[in-house]
Amino acid sequence: MPSATDPLMTPGVATPSQPLMMGSHQKVGFDVDFANRRIKGWTEITINPTDQFLRTIRLNARQLEVMKCTVNGKSCSQVKYDNPYSKFSIHKSAGIHQHHMLRKKVEGLLHDPAEFELVITLPTKIKIENADPFSVAAQHALAARTSASLRGTPDAPDGSGGRTPALTARPENMANPFVPLQLRIEYIIENIRDGFTFVGCEAGDPRYPHAYTTNSPLPGAACCLFPTLDGIHERWTWEIEVTVPRTIGDIDNPKTRKEGSPMTNGVNGNREGSDDSDNSGADEDRDLDMVVVCSGDAVDEEFPLMEPSKKIVKFMQPQPVAPQHISIAIGPFEEVNLSEFRDQENEDAMAAMAVDVMGYCLPGRDADLKNTCVFMPKAIDYIVKEFGQYVYTNFKLCFVDDLASDTVESASLAICSNSLLFPEMIVDPLWDVTKKLTYSLTAQWAGVGVVPKDWSDIWVIIGMAYWMTGCFMKTLMGNNEYRFRLKKDAERITELDIGRPSLYAQGFQVPIDPASLDFIKLKAPVVLTILEKRLWKLSSSMVLHRVVRKTFLSAVAGELKNGLMSTAHFIRLCEKNSHNKLDPFFQQWVFGAGYPRFEVSQRFNKKRMIVEMGIRQVQATHTPVRKVNEDEFLKDALDRERHVVVGPTQPVFTGPMTIRIHEADGTPYEHVVDLKEGYTKLDIPYNTKYKRLKRSRRQKERAAAGAGVDISIDAQQNDDVLLYCLGDVLQSEEEVDDWRLVDWSREDEERMAQESFEWIRMDADFEWICTLNINQPDYMFLSQLQQDRDVIAQYDSIKHFAHATESALISSILVRTLMDRRYYYGIRVEAAMALARCATAELDWVGQFHLRKAFQEFFCYSGSQIPKSNDFSDLTAYYVQNAIPKAMSQIRNISGVCPGHVQKWILDVLRYNDNSNNSYDDCYYIANLMKSLANTLSPQQKSNPFGFDLMEEDEYEEDDEYNEKKLHAMALDEIERYQRMDRWQPTYRNIVSEAALEIQKDLMLRGIKNIDYQFFLAYVRENTLDTLRSKAFECMIDLGGLKVRQLVGYLLFMLGHDPSPFVRRRLQVAFGKGLGMIAVGSQKPKEVPNGMSFGDMIIEDASADNSAARKDELAKETIAGAVDALKKEVNSDSSFKKGLWKAVTSPEIGILELRFLLDIASLLYVTKTSLVVVMKQKKHLKCKHLGGGKLQFKWEFNPLPTTRSAVVPPIYTPASTPTPSATPAPTPAHHPPPPPISRTPSASITLNSRERSIPRETPLPTAAREPPRSMPIKLITNPRGKLPNGTTKKSSLGSSATSGFSKEGKEKLSDKLDRYSDEPKRVGDLNKGDKYDKYGDRMPVDKYGDRSDKYDKYGERTISTGATKRGPSIPPHATTPADRAAPAGHSTPGTPTPQGQQDRPRKIILKLGKHAMQNGLAGAGGKDAGR
């Protein structure tokens, strides 16, 4: 961390590695005002000086106003505070093209270490005194200070890395040689943008008022609430005092609550058990006590005598923690003691090590809290026993509204979103919520106790926390659930880890992008899991468990200084405990990117009795090219702008792989192979003497076993081996006929008889994140599916059958897997999804028949298609019941349309759904049925003029009941019926309405319904549930809302001004996806087919030239081409520009949200440095007599002074410029006095504007006279660049061209040449004796007279008699008498803007003389005139 002092301001020598001060303790006090949403606070920091020359103290402080500062009770007169949030503004004339000017003010706040904003100079009377200069402790401290040096961070593989300064936090065992200083700062925070959130405090918000901190490990997160050394490496003890209203009624803000309406924070937006007609709820709510939950132990609670409506709650945190890990939540929370759910056996075993777990929720949610967090005591007991001591007194969970993320972890406290709570009757969010809450617990060890040394080391911390979470989830949910989810995560990594930076390089960009952080959370725990497997083989012990446990123990004991964990230190611990070098592993999986792709070939050599295998790595040639997609577009585009370099794909991955060969007797033989090259050839010996069982023999055994006949004696005589396996259901002849099952052919039986082993399993121990393709036949995969007990092996077999060629045999295999309840439910679900591919006309729709038959067998009355009443007590059956309709909805005929009988079946299941006898809610099940039904719909074709359909192949479609149009209308009516029901009787978190919005969006995208944005606008009101509002916003953006002029402004306004941080965060994600859809062109709704359709056949016109369109489509496949396409679509939209700039300049968004919007602006728009200067003109009150005793008073601007007359030359019109006919102006000498001049109220001049003209009602007269001015208007411009010949533009003017000009006139001339020329002039063209007016514009000879005319120093022509006529010069673009009559210093309406002026930003300083100001020259043109 950086030094707490400034070497430039402090006498003596100070380096970042030798801090002049250290923090040891900090007190913080908050007085939270809910009514005004402001905080009045104070802080006291105990500072331990380490040098007697300390004179300044530098701290982090943002968005607050310092009121008073004292050191040891003495006031500090020199306090310099630069609030960075006050710089989040720019001049009012700025637009989206000036986004870079605002970015410069923001980027310094996101650096790590953060910049110091508060600099306090010690009072002169404060001296640094020695505590005891002769003590041994002081001598040791002095020696430690002088010998401090930079610590290296050799986290890179080659040992080279950045060097970080020594920490400023005070070690506990270090004695202080000087007397500590007490620094006290008093401050207030009024405009809170970061770090703290108020909920339910606005007028009309019916929710319970509460507030909480929104800390994060990012730099500058904590100093938004109190001055401190804001760094994750700064640690000390804490004392916290919070002053809050005693009850809700003491908030004393009548606008916060509607009269007589109870406050709610229920699941559905309505408080459970409340009656709208009963107004007593409001009075009861006002008496609810305000509770304070804090990161620490509650010490005391006081009630001030002077303020009886408030109370002071005090906390203490005895463990040194970073400022980012101090959190506070205030509200009418209900306390639930979750420790009562601890088993008595575990409580006795834990004894004194048992940790209390407390839960806090808003009123009415205590039952949901108990159901959601019932496992937490078991989780904390497991982690304490496995990974070490919990250093805090208790663990608290507090659930709040509007939290942008799911959880915020801090010391002994986790602030969680209310969306995680679910009642006992809901089962679907069980796994996800349990994992998220367990992670908030494991983060107390890895995340709070141990922190990353550098941001690139964050993968270690996140990986350890999620790996510990996985270990507990395996204990809680079972090994099959854990391994199945782990396999799914590995598959997801193979989809995402293409063209991405390495796991270590993800932390190079600070702050880390949310998408990159999600990728770290996905990959890091899987990498640690495969590391655990490999370490187990090397040392036959739980090495990773031992490493993690020792890490936490070292942090508690102080051996791991400040709990800093680096990648290099983690590698050293693993190598030390395993006694092996692990550099290749970390080079490939941490410092390298990508994953291997294996192609495996195998052959049995009967002569040598070996299995010959070849393993080839093909990732260098077979890894697909990463295409641009809408989900990842914004991240890829910003990485390109930030020059993020992605390394090449590694050609070879090395390491051990376990190959398991199941031979004929069923015995698995494992062989560990060390892969070192791109191609590895293996000869594996064969061990068994038995032949492989024939499939017919096995079927007889199963049939006999079902009949109760023992044939083991006969089997032993025939030297066969009995094998009973999974999937041996539906074996009788009646069942085979009834289910239309097919078995192996005779040829297959003969081939199986020749095989010498059952199957080969690659990577049996899950030690690789890879893709495997092995060329063994289908019957070997069937043996693996039925006989291998590992759920990953079963999943690999199902995936093989899902991608194999469809056949009745595969459908039979899959339906037997689906019907066997002994399989893990995830395997049965995958089998059901794979059955949809076997539903084709060539196979007589056998896959659809099997799915229907399975659903009827499990969930319908016997012999009927009517479903039974729901019973979700068996969760495995519930997941299968959800999967079958979803799989049925994916069936398509050759035309790509779902058959009518499938639509009718799903519609009947939804219609006859009965949940009256079920103890669980069916909202998720109904939402799944609605989505499945909507997925079967297709665009309605217009009537065929020929009266027939060539592609009609479904016999059911002839029946009127299965008429396509009728089914279509019935399906839409049923979906809308459930949507209306959810409005009247809301389901849990409006799941049905959320699904209905998703369905309506998909139907509109597919062209089934017309796009209707008003339908979604009804769901975005502020009183709607936050998740439902977010879904409505996402649907509008997916439908192309960013391209609708009337809608894009509203979406951008909500992006910058919506009061809910949760909605703004979800809207950001949807906004990035919407930009990606525009860039890749995926926002076009599908057109409704007209007339006859021929499946996927497309008839193209050979004569049409589609090369340009094809070129554009290919360009969008690259990130550069997609960005260019996005700019073309968006740059011309003025509504998008204005809306984005309003969102950028919103006073409600935080710094990370502002950075997101500025990133989009920098991606879309070029930068233009410009400034509009506005000068106001004085007004006077004018009275007019209207008659009848009426007077009219009116404010008018002062008229400009009149000007002198000037000799107007004859009118000249260039031949190339057509002008309207005009009468030549009369001789100026005979002009009558000019009439009074009328002016417009105001005008403005933009320095690089597109218009120069100032509108006027009446042009200035040609004979106006101008008084002499005391001082010319001087234009001082920026230095100009050099011309091709090496000279500047000003020096290139010839003497004849600038004769008679003063120095100021020459500068004006050069400036005009720059700004008004349409294209750069050659140097030679300026040395021909041309004349220039006072504006510096060149005047043609035949238009303005002879070359011998003279000009004064102001650029004005003098008459031949020698007398100077100071009249206005005629601009070269004057074509009408009104234009010619414009005096100097003014332009006329309709003046064309020179093209060169628009792109030349210029800084101009106006210097006006006293006489000129008196005559109104500064206000010429009106209110906003002047440059």
Strands 394-400 and 356-361: parallel
Question: Who has greater pLDDT, 1390 or 997?
Answer: 997
Sign of the torsion angle spanned by Cα atoms 1323, 1324, 1329, 1332: negative
Question: Who has greater pLDDT, 749 or 468?
Answer: 468
CA distance 876 to 821: 9
Alpha-carbon distances of 1293 from 356, 974, 1309, 1323, 1331, rounded to whole Å: 86, 82, 10, 8, 12
One-character DSSP codes across 1325-1349: GG-S--EE-TTS-EE-HHHH--TT-
b/e for 183-200, b at 16 or more Cβ within 10 A?
bbbebebeebbbbbbbbb
pLDDT-derived band at 1104, boundaries 50, 70, 90 = low
Beta bridge partners of residue 657, listed in sequence order = 673
CB of 783 within 8 A of CB of 744? no
- For residue range 89-118, what is the model confidence (pLDDT) as tens digits? 888 888 899 999 898 888 878 777 778 889
**pLDDT over 80 (residue 1213):** no
> pLDDT at position 1271, please?
42
Give the whole-number percent of the chain exceeding pLDDT 70. 71
Q: What's the whole-number mean pLDDT along residues 1138-1145?
A: 92
- 3-state class (DSSP) for residue 501: coil
- For residue range 1074-1103, what is the model confidence (pLDDT) as tens digits? 999 999 886 655 554 444 444 444 445 555
> pLDDT at position 409, please?
94
Question: How many C-beta atoms surround the C-beta of residue 15 within 10 A?
Answer: 14
pLDDT-derived band at 131, boundaries 50, 70, 90 = confident
**pLDDT over 80 (residue 959):** no
- For residue range 647-672, what is the model confidence (pLDDT) as tens digits? 788 899 999 999 999 887 778 889 99
DSSP tag of 919: S
Strands 564-565 and 451-452: parallel
- For residue range 573-590, what is the model confidence (pLDDT) as tens digits? 999 999 999 999 999 999
> pLDDT at position 1200, please?
58
CA distance 893 to 847: 12
**How distant is the alpha carbon of residue 412 from its chain centre?**
27
> pLDDT at position 747, please?
87
CB of 743 within 8 A of CB of 737? no
**pLDDT over 70 (residue 1334):** no
CA distance 376 to 369: 11
Q: What's the whole-number mean pLDDT along residues 861-879?
A: 93
- For residue range 1010-1060, what is the model confidence (pLDDT) as tens digits? 999 999 999 998 889 999 999 999 999 999 999 898 899 999 999 999 999
The chain-wide mean pLDDT, for the chain, equals 78
- For residue range 1309-1322, what is the model confidence (pLDDT) as tens digits? 555 545 444 444 44
Task: Give me the torsion for CA of 1344, 1348, 1349, 1351, rounded to 10°.
Answer: 120
